[in-house]
Amino acid sequence: MRLARDGDPEEVYFEETDTQFAIGWKDQYRIEGDAFVYFDEDSGRVVTILGHPVHRITDWG
């Protein structure tokens, strides 16, 4: 999740309770095998992150 762009903070929706949390994802994210892939809808940039603990994310889902 992008927290700032060009030095300016981005608005991030985040909600948390004692047992759950929610994040308002602004762009597109997906998991492809061992890769975490991020697509920035404003710039069209695609970032692939290898080594991210994607197995932990898929275990939550």
Distance separating alpha carbons of residues 50 and 35, to the nearest angstrom: 5
Strands 8-9 vs 46-50: parallel, antiparallel or unpaired: unpaired
Tell me what pLDDT residue 34 has: 85
* Confidence at 1, pLDDT banded by 50, 70, 90: low
Residue 48 pLDDT: 94
φ/ψ bin of 23: left (φ > 0), alpha (ψ from -120 to 50), beta (otherwise) = beta
pLDDT in tens, 7-61: 888 888 889 999 988 888 778 888 888 888 989 888 899 999 898 777 777 776 6
CA distance 11 to 2: 9
